[in-house]
Every structure is written in structure tokens, then in C-alpha cells.
Chain A
Amino acid sequence: MTMRNRSQFENQDGAIVCHGVSKWYGQVIALNNISLEISAGIVGLLGPNGAGKTTLLELLTGRLRPSRGRVRVFGMDPWTQPQVFRRVGYCPDSDGVYEKMSALEFVSLLGRLSGLSAEESHKSAVARLDLVGLSRFTHQKVGTFSKGMKQRVKLAAALVHDPDLLVLDEPLNGLDPIARIKMIRVLRELAESGMVILLSSHILAEVEALTSHIILIHHGNILAEGKIEEIRALIANQPYTYRIQTDDPRSLARALVMVPAVESVEFDLENSSLIVRTAEAAALCKAVQELVCKEGHMVTSLAPLDDSLEAVFQYLVK
């Protein structure tokens, strides 16, 4: 194996490093002094429309120059040093395919443009199209493909040069459920092989299925960064909500209101359960445990309702 010149990456800490990055268009601030570092794994970029997700991806893929601050991808400035894209695969949300080319021609062309030889590019294109489940359609014109197939062609093109960093803008858009499951599996395998994946999506369930590491952007600011559970734990002003399934909700509710950690208890008699809010999740769990063991309450399940990505997202952008 030939080793790449490491010296140019020695000073870097992560695949992506943004330091004090701002981007504005006239009077409109798209990104406001954001700093982040992404080193490994899959990271989901989340935010409502107009939050600044696309601007951030465009900065990372060298399509925009920051108004202020520093963007580094593998230690290089993507705006002035396009050679860094030898190590970066980008799958845009927009169409971005040559409709008159066959899938194989298109993916091979992008392999050539990434510096692969004709032979390498062809081999890699065949392998990548197979990876995304398009091996039967390699010689078919991309223009005849469905949206989901085009999406997979773009993903194959983003992977053709075996990048170290994959930037995906809404990668699962248009995919049917089976293709979506397969794609999620592929992306996980790629991440396990050492590839860093940054993906933006507005479908929270998709991001949740892929990763628990997220970056939440809102109004050009990073609201939160890290694992979903960790972020939830930091939202101190929002009590945790739990659903407790029991055969005797009234009796359990009476016992729970005596627990200092419990803030409120609601009945959900249809489901024979209680909705309990608490600021201290650990204390509640311990109290329920004691009620079950010492007072003989029958509890069939105790499940958090708001440490999902959607709940965290709602809390943060509210």
C-alpha cells in the first residue's frame, strides 16, 4: 500500500473543522459564527428550512467562501484547494446527473474527474453501482431512471473514488422503503470502515436510524451538537416525560405524587398508563423501582417519551 503524504494532515484534529465561520448574503446572515469539528462516524445535520444547513454544506464542499472564519476539510481550505476533493464524496440534493449518459458512463466520468485512471474508474464504477443495487441498470441512460434510482447513481458517483469523507444532502430522498433500508445499511458499513459521513436531512427518523450523533442548526447558529441522549440531558428547563404502563394507574399515581422528583402525573386511562413528568429521570426510575419492589405495584413498562430526536428538536427550536 502506498502511503499518502501525511505531513499536510498532521496538524489537523478532524476531517471537518470550522472555526468562527459566518456567512452572510447582504443583510441576511445565513451562518453566524459557528465552530464545529467532525472526526469520525456518521453525523446528522438537522435544522428547519432556512436554518443554514445547505450553506454549511456548500461551505464544506467549496461552493461558497465564508464571509468570516475558517473552514478546513482534512486540513485544507475547500475554496482554494480543490485537491481536497480527492478525499471527499459529495451527493447533492438537486438532480446533478447527465441524463444522456448511461449510469456506468456517468459514474466512470466522475471517477476520472477524481483522478482515477480509465481502468480504475471503470472497475470502481461497476463495483459502486453494484453496491447501491444498480448492477442491472449500468448501461441504461440515467434520464430513464426514477428519482430513487438517480439518487442511488449520485451516491455511487460520490463513492467512486473511495473518499474518506462523504457529504450527503438528503441522501434518502425518493428511495423506496427497501432501497432505503439497504442504503442505511450501506452507509453504516461505510462508516464502520472508517469513512466519515455528514448527512443533512429533514426526515428525523432517517437520521435517527443512521446515527445518534447530530448537529442541530437554527437561524444560522448551532443549537446543539453531540449524541441525542446527551443533548436531551442538557435541556434542563424541559422535564422528562415518561409513560408508565400499569394495571392500577390510580394507585400508582397516588404513590408517585408523593415522590419529590415528580413534577406532574397525567392519566391515560385508555392505555391504562400514566404520563409522568420529572426533572430528574434517574430519581423517577429509582422511585418506580422501589414502588414495584416494596409496595407491590404492577408496572409492565416504563418508557421515555421525549428523548427521541423529534422531541429534542422541538425543544431546541421552540
Chain B
Amino acid sequence: MPIYDLSYQRYDGPRRLGFLWWTIARTTAQATLKKPANSRYLFFIFVTFLGFAFLVYFWRTATEYATALFEIDPDTGSLEIRLGHYKFPLSLVFFRYLSILFWPVILYVITSVSAALSADVLGGGLTVILARPLRRRHYVFGKVLGLAGPPTLSATLVIFGAFVLLWGYYFNFFQMLHHLPVLLCSSLYLFLAGGMCGLSAVAFHPRTSTFRKSAGWLFFYWFGTWIFSTASSNQALRTIVSMGSPIHLLDGIYLWLTGVSNPQGVDSRFLRDVITGDVPFYLLPSALLVHFLLLAWRTRNLFVGVR
């Protein structure tokens, strides 16, 4: 008798197989959150928010005695931050803040990758997991989400908190709507950065090598390329090297999307080139896509001999 005639005796309902990545993500997040170092990174993200809140509160209450730090431009209705002779738009302030928030996110991911993947890749758990109705891309997506999700979500909540704080002190409802794109672009920045961090951590996780080697590659990918690209004085060379730096690409995309037109207050020469239009914008998302594809391709190494 064909087996399928027997098998239905025990079948008791349809199964949802489309969301198995969520189970992977949740299990990974639980495993990474158990690490004490990671709660410190999340705490640091919260501390930056307290600092931001203190600044906003201090300069609001000190306006009677000192020069206001935050000002609404009467012509454009934009919030600007005055430092000495310079005035910075809100998008640049958030850009600076995002640069600070990004550090705990990447450090969280780097220190968690071992907890998230070693049991699977080196302990043999992947063999059992992939003998389930789970696609490889769902596994990778779940891992990236579980690894980078908690710090990215925390950082995004903090950015939202900072925006709400400014709204409470400085904006009316319509001014809030006017500045909303900055908040959305900041969130997009964090999601892209978190996603790339998680993907790179999974992609660089070695099957047979050490955690240190893996962390070293990750540091080089994120910070080594960034340092090399900022060190170059030749514009063409700088542009080429910067295309290999995910930090520069993400920063450039953020600045372009938020419409920053004045390079004043931007330290990186490459980003100034982007703002002034010397480097065509379309190169940035294209290069980031190439990064994404290469990293996604590299994740295949995880499955060698497994599926």
C-alpha cells in the first residue's frame, strides 16, 4: 500500500511554514540578549538618549540667560542648531547622533555573533535545523534579524524618543510634520545599518576558524575600510575606496535623502563630495546593493556540507 494512504491517519491540520524565520530570529535574539556585554551596549544607547534629553531640556530652560541652542528659522520653519557662527539643520544633528548610536549596534552584533551562530555552525545544530521545512534564506534572514534586531530596535526607539522630545519643546504639529522625513530617514539609516551589520556578521562567521578571526574581519569591513577611505586625499581614489566602506555609503545615502546641501559641519571629505554633487548619488545605493549581494552570496559558506 502506498505510504501516503497510511500517513494521513496522523495528519491533524495544515501547517504554517512561511514564518519559520521568526522562530529563528526569536531564538537568536534570546541567545544574544543573555550575554552581559549586550545589556551594557543597550544601556549605552539609553544613556545617549538621557544626554540628548538633558541638552534639549537645559537649552530650553536656559534661553532666558544664554543664547538659544535650538532655533526655529522663521522663514523656513526648520529647526536649526546654532553652534558659534554656524547653524546646523536638524538632519545633521540627527546624523551626528546616529553616528554615536551606530557604535553600540555594531559592537553588539560583533560580540553576539558567536553566541548566535556557533551552536548552529560549529555545534552541528544547523544539520538538525535544516532538516526542517526551512529555506536557507529564511534561516539567514532569521539570524540577521535576531542578531541585529534588538540593538537596531533600541536605537530606533531612542531616535523616536529624541524626536518626540524636540516636538514637545519646540514644534507644533505642522512643524513636526515638516521634520518627519528626518525621523523616517534616521530610522531607515538604522535599519539599513543594522541589517548590513547582521548580514556581514553572518557572512563573515567562519565555519572552521576562530571567533577572533571572524571579529577581525568584521572590524576591518566596517572600520578598516572607513579609515582607509577617509585617509585618502585624491578624490578619485577616495571615491573608489569609499565605495568599499559601508559606513560611508550609509552616511552618504542618509545625507542625500535628508537633502543636506551645505557641507558645513560634515567632516568626511567623501561625504562633502556627495553633498556637493562631485560624486553622483546613484553610485551609493548601487554600491550598497553590491555589498548586500556579496555578503548574501558569502553566507553560502555556512551551509557547506549541511544543505
**Residues of A in contact with B (beta carbons under 8 Å apart):** 1-4, 6, 9, 12-15, 39-40, 61-63, 74, 79, 82-90, 92, 94-100, 109-110, 112-116, 154, 157, 162, 164-165, 193-194, 196
In Å, the complex CA distance between A6 and B12 comes to: 14
In Å, the complex CA distance between A114 and B130 comes to: 10
Pairwise interchain contact B23-A113, C-beta atoms closer than 8 A: yes
List 6 additional contacts besides A115-B133, A164-B10, A165-B3; criterion CB under 8 Å.
A14-B3, A87-B7, A96-B128, A100-B31, A110-B129, A115-B16
Pairwise interchain contact A98-B23, C-beta atoms closer than 8 A: no
- The answer to whether B119 has its CB under 8 Å from any CB of chain A is yes
CB contacts (< 8 Å) of A83 on chain B: these are 17, 133
- Produce 1/0 per residue, B14-56, CB < 8 A to A: 1111001001100100010000000000000000000000000
Pairwise interchain contact A115-B20, C-beta atoms closer than 8 A: yes
Pairwise interchain contact A90-B128, C-beta atoms closer than 8 A: yes
In Å, the complex CA distance between A162 and B123 comes to: 25
Pairwise interchain contact A40-B6, C-beta atoms closer than 8 A: yes
Contact A96-B124, Cβ < 8 Å, known A39-B3, A62-B130: yes
In Å, the complex CA distance between A208 and B277 comes to: 77
In Å, the complex CA distance between A212 and B23 comes to: 40
In Å, the complex CA distance between A94 and B130 comes to: 14
In Å, the complex CA distance between A87 and B8 comes to: 11
Which of A2, A14, A92, A162 touches B128 (beta carbons < 8 Å)? A92
Contact A63-B124, Cβ < 8 Å, known A1-B11, A90-B131, A164-B3: no
- The answer to whether B1 has its CB under 8 Å from any CB of chain A is yes
Contact A95-B9, Cβ < 8 Å, known A14-B2, A40-B3, A115-B17: no
In Å, the complex CA distance between A95 and B125 comes to: 8
Pairwise interchain contact A39-B2, C-beta atoms closer than 8 A: yes
Pairwise interchain contact A113-B20, C-beta atoms closer than 8 A: yes
- The answer to whether B84 has its CB under 8 Å from any CB of chain A is no
Pairwise interchain contact A94-B127, C-beta atoms closer than 8 A: yes
**Secondary structure of the A contact surface, majority rule:** loop
In Å, the complex CA distance between A95 and B123 comes to: 7
- The answer to whether B135 has its CB under 8 Å from any CB of chain A is yes
A–B pairs, 22, beta carbons within 8 Å? A4-B8, A6-B4, A63-B131, A63-B306, A74-B3, A82-B134, A86-B15, A95-B124, A96-B125, A96-B128, A97-B124, A98-B119, A98-B123, A100-B31, A100-B119, A112-B23, A113-B20, A113-B132, A115-B20, A154-B128, A164-B6, A196-B3
- The answer to whether B305 has its CB under 8 Å from any CB of chain A is yes
CB contacts (< 8 Å) of A196 on chain B: these are 3
Pairwise interchain contact A3-B8, C-beta atoms closer than 8 A: yes
4 nearest A-B residue pairs (beta carbon): A194-B6, A115-B15, A90-B131, A164-B7
In Å, the complex CA distance between A193 and B17 comes to: 26
- Shortest A267–chain B CB gap in Å is 50
CB contacts (< 8 Å) of A157 on chain B: these are 128
Pairwise interchain contact A63-B119, C-beta atoms closer than 8 A: no
CB contacts (< 8 Å) of A92 on chain B: these are 124, 127-128, 131
Pairwise interchain contact B8-A82, C-beta atoms closer than 8 A: no
Which of A84, A90, A99, A194 touches B3 (beta carbons < 8 Å)? A194
Which of A3, A85, A154 touches B132 (beta carbons < 8 Å)? A85
In Å, the complex CA distance between A109 and B142 comes to: 14
CB contacts (< 8 Å) of A94 on chain B: these are 124, 127
- The answer to whether B307 has its CB under 8 Å from any CB of chain A is yes
In Å, the complex CA distance between A15 and B5 comes to: 11
- The answer to whether B13 has its CB under 8 Å from any CB of chain A is yes
Residue of A nearest to B20 (CB): A113
- Shortest A77–chain B CB gap in Å is 13
Residue of A nearest to B138 (CB): A82
Pairwise interchain contact A9-B20, C-beta atoms closer than 8 A: no
CB contacts (< 8 Å) of A6 on chain B: these are 4, 8
